[in-house]
Amino acid sequence: MIVYNSDMEYKPGEFEPRWAHKWEEEGINKAVDKSDLQKTYLLIEFPYPSGDRLHVGHARSYCCLDAVARKRRMQGQNVLFPFGWDAFGLPAENFAVKTGVHPKITTRQNIEHAKKQVISWGLSFDWDREINTTDPEYYRWTQWIFVQLFNRGLAYKAEITVNWCPSCRINLANEEVVDGCCERCGTKTERRKQSQWLLRITAYADRLLSDLKTVNFREDIARQQINWIGKKEGAAVKFKIQITNNKSNSNDNYIEVFTTRIDTLFGVTYLVLAPEHPLVQEITNPKVKDYISKALNKSERERKQKTGKTGVDTELTAINPANGEKVPIWIADYVMMDVGTGAIMGVPGHDERDMEFAKEHNLEVRQVVEEGKLINSGKYTGMGSGEAGERMIKDGLGEKSCHYHLRDWVFSRQHYWGEPIPMINCSKCAENHRSFFTTSPLTPLHNCGEGNERGEVEMYGWFPVPEDQLPVELPEIEKYQPTQTGESPLAHIESFVQTTCPNCGGLARRETDTMPNWAGSSWYFLRYIDPHNDKALADPEKLKYWLPVDWYNGGMEHTTLHLLYSRFWHKFLFDLGVVPTSEPYAKRTSHGMILGPDSRKMSKSRGNVINPDEVVAKFGADSLRLYEMFIGPFDQTTTWSWESLEGVHRFLKRVWVLIVDSGKLIVESSGEAKNRMARLVNKIDRDLESMKFNTAVAALMEFLNWWTEHQLEVGKDLVEMFLRILAPLAPFITEELYQTRFGNKTKYISIHSLEWPKIKVENGGEKTSIVITVDGKVRGKVEDPPGGEAGQESVSKKALEMENVKKYIEGKVYKTVYVPGKILNFVIAHGSK
């Protein structure tokens, strides 16, 4: 039992740890599987347990969603709010390379510390469901999903050009290369050929796009998904190459271009091939060779620059299928090999980039569209653009075609600290395969939505590890360094590599590549639903109850790839019948970044990093929480301010003193106080649901101000109510005050297990509008005023700012007559002017 605390001083450090412990002991935050209650699945992105600990940015996401979780529990919902660790990754491995300490050990230590942080912040996670992606019982299912992908032809191995970071000694996915440099360390990456596993995400491109209509993602987040998929609908047009040298002997050589504007076909004055285009490789002209070698060394950004477009004339020509004209063929690096077909038709009259190029190289510019209608275009002249395009396709000048920015997902990493890819290669079976198939089995299809133009597929003799042998556990090793050849360090461990072929029982070799960081996070929200299941990834009944995730919040940096990858895996699992929904997340939001007090990005080198642990030690966790909510609009970047943190802390102190004090008073709550409270209850509810955490805190402060001045109007009922609605935001102080002032002294019932207050505004909570009159004549209206004296004050202040009122009153002596909720009349003293 808790001793009544009459201490006038607010000392959060004395009770916060006690309550955190008590809540855990009582299990008040546990989600119940399959209850009749309305379910809510709230998800925040699980962190990487780094040596730098959790920062104030993590706290922003966690604390705000925690307030929603706590409120919804009070509103009678069965809330799943879980937590875990995305623990594979390079930092632990790099640390191991340097110090020899096994990543398992550093990971465990980092988790222990971060968990203490999270508990001290009073987050209401259900710890029974804690997961860790590096736990073999977890990654067993990550590997299982990979095997299913392989069995359905969605995982394949191919020789591809990879981005090699010579400093990290790792192959990076295209999306991990920023302006030609490694995303992690900034070193310039090199292009090399290597055999890699890929996942055929492109097969899902259309569904990843169209299903966005079925979910509620913040608009800019949905837009990022759309842009990354980058679907372009247009046409493929073939231009026959004119044979001018006798080297090319075939007469069906042609260049296929991709265009979104086939209607401009009569405006084509040249063609351009990307420097990487296969046809270019056949040209031996030294000028061309020289240009290509220069172009290949440029970064993508340099190539996409607006001005100074370089190129070289091949002196070859092709025939425009629309009018039989000869057009010159150029090579230029503003055309990208990985867009469309790597070849374009140049229409400088209607495309800015082409115009820039044409000016630079004195190429003809021809107008063929004017105000949406075709000109100079043979029989198409006079038609609208859209119609003309369709006609041209009907007439066989081109074929409908679409292209995507999305590429198949490079899924191999040559690193130790990741999930082993559960595949086995048998050379004997490969031999048999080769004589059996004329082409490699599982050759990717080339159709619309197929992003793999990535070279030889090597599928001979590959077998998945039988499911009953999963997980393939990471072996202990001594050297964590990736090898100079680019092979994974696992390749050195003979006992790991050697195995038996699941097909013929002969000697075979294991895959030594591991999965990328993205793997474990692509399905973790499913495992929370049934974290200890050893028969399946999760129980179908439980999945049916909990899915989809109702609200997912995380950083803006994960709204492209992580979201896309996890949606892809989820859709695949849906197709397998493993999950009951085709989309994982019903709603996705993101929180803004917190900048240092100097308004710059927090970084160790700038010394402007705020450590949340210090904030808790000095002000208490409730102050940290409340400040994280108060700091600014949730989705916007804001600056850390100690002053405003202290303001929030002062607010909590005042709450403490007022309530400790109010024990002495026994008053009836006034109607005005009740109305204010009713409005406040609704506002907190609405604001938390619409992510306006900052205005929720502001409203609580405003109420406190009024209360301080009207202490004789606030009775015990409202004090208790105030604590209840503050509880989701500041769980510790409210629990302490509730238990010591109101709680059941014989049986512990947490304030967090109470119901959310139900209270109605007397006049139904409708917007009230006050009619403003001057000497009885209606001159205006003021909406939604507060009640009581404050009401009169604020209404007359607003009224006196209205032009139509001002002009009758200005300079005159008046008095006001106020009928609360109805009318405010200004009475002019006659005789005054």
SS3 per residue for 494-561? HHHHEEECCCCCCEEEECCCECCCCCHHHCHHHHCCCCCCCCCCCCHHHHHHHCCECEEEECHHHCCH
Class of residue 370 by CB neighbours under 10 A (exposed 0-12, middle 13-18, buried 19+): exposed
Q: Among the candidate windows 30-38, 344-352, 419-427, 746-754, which touches ligand ANZ by CB under 6 A?
A: 344-352
Stretch that binds Zn ion, among 256-264, 316-324, 504-512, 636-644 (CB under 5 A): 504-512
Is the CB of 141 or the CB of 239 nearer to ligand ANZ?
239
Q: Which stretch binds Zn ion (CB under 5 A): 442-450, 470-478, 497-505, 630-638?
A: 497-505
CB of residue 511 vs Zn ion: minimum separation in angstroms?
14
Identify which range of 5-13, 259-267, 492-500, 781-789 contacts ligand ANZ by CB under 6 A: 259-267
Q: What whole-number distance in Å separates Cα of residue 174 and Cα of residue 201? A: 14
CA distance 122 to 62: 10
Is residue 426 involved in binding Zn ion (CB under 5 A)?
yes
Examine residue 501 and tell whether it contacts Zn ion (CB under 5 A).
yes
Site for Zn ion contains 119 (CB under 5 A): no
Residue 426 binds which entry of ligand ANZ, Zn ion, none, with Cβ cut-offs from 5 to 8 Å by kind?
A: Zn ion
Instruction: Give the shortest CB-232-to-ligand ANZ separation in angstroms.
Output: 5
Q: Which amino acid is at 391?
A: R
CA distance 171 to 160: 11
Q: Which residues contact 526 (CB under 8 A, 6 or more apart)?
A: 537, 538, 543, 547, 570, 573, 579, 584
Identity of the residue, 360 or 458, whose beta carbon is nearer to Zn ion in the bound complex: 458
The H or E element containing residue 818 is strand 814-819
Which of ligand ANZ, Zn ion, none has residue 429 at its interface (CB below 5 to 8 Å by kind)? Zn ion
Selected binder of Zn ion within 181, 243, 288, 504 (CB under 5 A): 504
Which residues does residue 773 pair with via DSSP β-bridges, in sequence order? 778, 825
Among 215, 344, 442, 727, binds ligand ANZ (CB under 6 A): 344
Q: What phi and psi, each to the nearest 5 degrees, are found at residue 417?
A: -85, 70
Torsion angle (degrees, nearest 10) of CA 320, 324, 328, 329: 40
Instruction: Report in angstroms how near the CB of residue 147 gets to Zn ion at its nearest.
Output: 17
> Per CB under 6 A, does 374 bind ligand ANZ?
no
If contact means CB under 5 to 8 A according to the sort of partner, which of ligand ANZ, Zn ion, none does residue 339 touch?
Answer: ligand ANZ
How distant, in Å, are the alpha carbons of 108, 139, 181, 528, 557 from that of 132? 10, 9, 31, 10, 21
Region of 51-59, 197-205, 307-315, 332-340 interacting with ligand ANZ (CB under 6 A): 332-340
Q: Measured between alpha carbons, how far is 793 from 779 in angstroms, rounded to an integer?
A: 18
Tokens representing 694? 């900052």
Closest of 317, 186, 325 to residue 255, by C-alpha: 317
Distance CA 534, CA 734 (A): 40
Decide which of ligand ANZ, Zn ion, none touches 342; Cβ closer than 5 to 8 Å per partner kind: ligand ANZ
In the list Zn ion, ligand ANZ, none, the entry touching 340 (Cβ below 5 to 8 angstroms by class) is ligand ANZ
Residue nearer to ligand ANZ on the CB measure, 345 or 457: 345
Residue type, 483: T
Number of residues that bind ligand ANZ (CB under 6 A): 17
Q: For tokens 């238990």, what's the residue?
A: 739
CB neighbour class for 283 (10 Å; exposed up to 12, middle 13-18, buried from 19): buried
Alpha carbon distance 60, 639 (integer Å):
13
Binding segment for Zn ion (CB under 5 A), chosen from 215-223, 398-406, 505-513, 799-807, is 505-513
Among the listed ranges 116-124, 139-147, 334-342, 621-629, the one in contact with ligand ANZ (CB under 6 A) is 334-342
Give every CB contact of residue 818 below 8 A, 6+ residues apart in sequence. 791, 792, 795, 796, 824, 825
429 binds Zn ion (CB under 5 A): yes
**Alpha carbon distance 346, 360 (integer Å):** 13
Q: How far is the CB of 77 from ligand ANZ (least distance, A)?
A: 45
Smallest distance, ligand ANZ to C-beta of residue 334, A: 6
Using rule CB under 5 A, residue 423 touches Zn ion: no
- Whether the CB-CB separation of 79 and 729 falls below 8 Å is answered with no
Q: At what angle do helices 103-120 and 90-99 cross, to 10 degrees?
A: 130
Under the criterion CB under 6 A, does residue 336 sit at the interface with ligand ANZ? yes
Stretch near ligand ANZ under the rule CB under 6 A, chosen from 347-355, 509-517, 588-596, 711-719: 347-355
Rule CB under 6 A: choose which of 53, 115, 218, 261 binds ligand ANZ.
Answer: 261
Site stretch for ligand ANZ (CB under 6 A), options 252-260, 669-677, 755-763, 768-776: 252-260
Q: Which residue, 242 or 503, is less far from Zn ion as judged by CB?
A: 503
Query: Binding ligand ANZ by CB under 6 A: which of 75, 260, 440, 769?
Result: 260
Residue 503 binds which of ligand ANZ, Zn ion, none (CB < 5-8 A, kind-dependent): Zn ion
Closer to Zn ion by Cβ: residue 432 or 443: 432
Which residue, chain included where needed, has tokens 């372009």? 232
Site size toward Zn ion, by CB under 5 A: 7
Bond from prior residue into 166 cis (ω within 30 degrees of 0): no
- 264 is a contact residue toward ligand ANZ (CB under 6 A): yes
Provide the minimum distance between the beta carbon of 505 and Zn ion in the complex, in angstroms, as a whole number: 7
DSSP state of 589: E
Choice from 259, 412, 559, 796 touching ligand ANZ (CB under 6 A): 259
Is 653 one of the binding residues for ligand ANZ (CB under 6 A)? no
Smallest distance from ligand ANZ to CB 316, Å? 18
Q: Is 451 near ligand ANZ (CB under 6 A)?
A: no
User: Is the Cβ–Cβ distance between 704 and 655 less than 8 Å?
Assistant: yes
Q: Among 203, 335, 465, 538, which residue sits at the site for ligand ANZ (rule: CB under 6 A)?
A: 335
232 binds ligand ANZ (CB under 6 A): yes
Q: How near is the Cβ of 459 to Zn ion at its closest, in Å?
A: 14
Between 347 and 626, CB nearer to ligand ANZ: 347
Quick check: 373 binds ligand ANZ (CB under 6 A)?
A: no
List beta partners, residue 423. Answer: 464
Binding flag, residue 321, ligand ANZ (CB under 6 A) = no
Closest to ligand ANZ by CB, 83 vs 258, is: 258
Are 472 and 420 within 8 A, CB to CB? Answer: yes
Question: Which partner from the list ligand ANZ, Zn ion, none does 283 bind, CB cut-off 5 to 8 Å by kind?
Answer: none
**What is the rounded distance in angstroms from the CA atom of residue 265 to the CA atom of residue 322?**
7
Minimum CB distance to ligand ANZ smaller for 258 or for 546? 258
Contact between 258 and ligand ANZ by CB under 6 A: the answer reads yes
Cα angle, residue 751 at apex, residues 21 and 65 outer, rounded to 5°: 75
Q: Quick one: which of 293, 349, 289 has its CA closest to 314?
A: 289
Site map (CB under 6 A) of ligand ANZ, residues 24-63, x = contact? ----------------------------------------
Give the containing element (helix H, strand E) for 196. Answer: strand 190-199
Closer to ligand ANZ at the Cβ: 280 or 347? 347
CB distance 168 to 177 below 8 Å = no
DSSP 279-343: TGGG---HHHHHHHHHHHTS-HHHHT-SS----EEEEEEEE-TTT--EEEEEE-TTS-TTSTTSE
Which of 75, 503, 533, 769 binds Zn ion (CB under 5 A)? It is: 503
Q: Which stretch binds Zn ion (CB under 5 A): 113-121, 501-509, 758-766, 815-823?
A: 501-509
Binding site for ligand ANZ (CB under 6 A): 232, 258-261, 264, 274, 335-336, 339-340, 342, 344-345, 347, 350-351
Binding site for Zn ion (CB under 5 A): 426, 428-429, 501, 503-504, 506
